[in-house]
Chain A
Amino acid sequence: MNCLSEDVLRRYADRELSSLEVDEHLSSCERCRERLGELRNRTERVQELLGVLAPAGGDPDPARAYARLASAIASAEPEPPRRVSFLRRTPVWSAAAACALILVFTLSPARSWGQRFLSMLRVQKVAVVPVDLQTVTAQLRGSGHEKLLAQFISDNVVVTMKPGAPAIASSPQNASAMVGFPVTTLSALGTPQRISVTGEGAFQMTLDRSRIQALFDAAGRSDLSVPLSVDGSLVAVHIPKSVHMQYGNCSKTNHAPSANCVNFIQVPSPTVSVPPSLNIAALAEAGLQVAGMDAAQAQAFSQSVDWSSTLVIPVPENAGSYETVPVDGVNGTLIASLPRPHSPGGYALIWVKNGIIYSLAGGGSADTALNVAESLH
């Protein structure tokens, strides 16, 4: 056997290589034994010198570092302003986005920190509430307080899991494998033009009573007061992976309802973690009034809803009608919007079954939704 290469000696010295051949060669070759000895000395000395640099201050704290990183990322996120711009877009077509908005408006956990004290809320039902969002957004914009809302969100919301850009799925089967639940298709509409899967997302927010009050004030509702229990409490929202199918001829850039395009979104219920002691109804009542309901209506509505299991969808009062319809063996909510100068009008059919929220939306007559929904697979 030839003399051993530097590489073999090195791996042998580092116990990354054990070989009978090498052992035998070393026992018979003095030169290689010497080289091994020199190599070991050099490694030892270099590592000893580098050991001088070893930190004396103890272990780092990854949890604290991650919290810091998450808030650095959240403060640089473009997402919060996007969530604000969502306020301007009515009606609301995306179930997941509607959740985020409504949660911002309605949840009020008590003071206790720490997620182990939180209870999990899941969507089991959908309720529709007619609101006058245009007035409130116009009021905020008009008074120059639009920024207040953006800042409120960016200062208090920490994105803990960024969903990333949607990934394209090659087929419904492929999409099912990606999201981990069986994806439903609409056979009446043929093959989907595009199937995309959006990753999990999660964010947390710490509620600050004085800033919510400032928002109420800016919206011209100083008469409403934010419950004291809100202050300093933590709300954590987790939105699972979702599937977005487009049928027909959909524009990539324009998301306004179009008669040729049907959007079908499926997402397992987002979970919201809040302290069990919280009085969601009280904050919801104030939020609903800010959104244009009168006090008696807001009270009646917030008491009629189980806030821990209901997805509340705000529908601008003047935008259309809503009704309960049977879909796939459960009750769904069909929202129809009327044609307006910049929008052809359209429908959204939303239902919840086996823990998954479905939203079927398109342009044209609401009857289409019911016909299409007949062909669920």
Chain B
Amino acid sequence: MSGKAQLRETGLPVTFEAIFQQHYRRVYGLLIRLVGERAQAEDLANEVFCKLYDQPDGAPVWANPAGWLYRAATNAGIDALRAAARRRRYEAEAGTHLPSADGSPLDSVLRAEQSRQIRAVLGAMKPAQAQILLMRADGCSYKELAEASQVAASGVGTLLNRAEAEFRKRYLKLTGHKEVL
């Protein structure tokens, strides 16, 4: 038996639903951090799992669905992020973009601005690096990161270091070195 109906890993049959149950929270967690809106994150997660479902039986993806899923989710999130950034530019030029106001207005403006900068940095990074940082922020263990990044567990530390260094460099550049990082 092969493919989505039956994946033999640990000798137990793993169904597509089991893959979904195992990874949905993480995929959603990654997307919500990237796009910031619940409905959009849910839509994107739905699309990513649909695409996984459409992979033909016997395709290599079924050997490690996690690796495929998180890469697809990161790419989808970054694409959406870039599209949103373009839209915001137009809106800013037209003067129609208003920050959402919950909490104190100043706080929320600052927080929104900071979120926007962090997302801009993530969106400019290599998707694989953005992915590992976001998954770590979501509480993934080295083992989970290794599976999702398709590297050996011993390589995760190096990947995290590089991704953090890259994030730091770009963030400092974007914020004009105003803060010590």
| A interface, CB within 8 angstroms of B | 6-8, 10-11, 14, 16-17, 39, 42-43, 45-47, 49-55, 57, 59-60, 62, 65-66, 68-69, 72-73, 76, 160-165, 167, 178, 197, 199-201, 241
- How long is the Cα–Cα vector from A161 to B1 in the complex, in angstroms? 14
Indicate whether A16 sits within 8 Å of B157 (C-beta atoms), given known contacts A47-B136, A62-B24: yes
- How long is the Cα–Cα vector from A79 to B93 in the complex, in angstroms? 49
- How long is the Cα–Cα vector from A147 to B168 in the complex, in angstroms? 59
State whether B137 touches A161 (Cβ < 8 A): no
Question: Counting CB contacts under 8 A, is B142 at the interface?
Answer: yes
Chain A residue numbers with a CB within 8 Å of B133 are 46, 50
State whether A43 touches B164 (Cβ < 8 A): yes
State whether B181 touches A45 (Cβ < 8 A): yes
Chain B residue numbers with a CB within 8 Å of A39 are 161
- How long is the Cα–Cα vector from A54 to B156 in the complex, in angstroms? 22
Residue ID in chain A nearest B138 by CB atoms: A54
Residue ID in chain A nearest B1 by CB atoms: A167
Q: How far is the CB of B4 from chain A (nearest CB, A)?
A: 6
State whether A54 touches B137 (Cβ < 8 A): yes
State whether B17 touches A55 (Cβ < 8 A): no
State whether B50 touches A69 (Cβ < 8 A): yes
User: What are the 10 A-B residue pairs with the smallest beta carbon separation, nearest first?
Assistant: A199-B5, A10-B157, A50-B137, A164-B5, A53-B33, A164-B3, A11-B157, A55-B32, A60-B28, A165-B57
Residue ID in chain B nearest A66 by CB atoms: B20
Question: Counting CB contacts under 8 A, is B10 at the interface?
Answer: no
Indicate whether A65 sits within 8 Å of B28 (C-beta atoms), given known contacts A42-B181, A164-B2: yes
Indicate whether A52 sits within 8 Å of B32 (C-beta atoms), given known contacts A42-B168, A62-B21: no
State whether A164 touches B4 (Cβ < 8 A): yes
- How long is the Cα–Cα vector from A54 to B181 in the complex, in angstroms? 20
Q: How far is the CB of A9 from chain B (nearest CB, A)?
A: 8
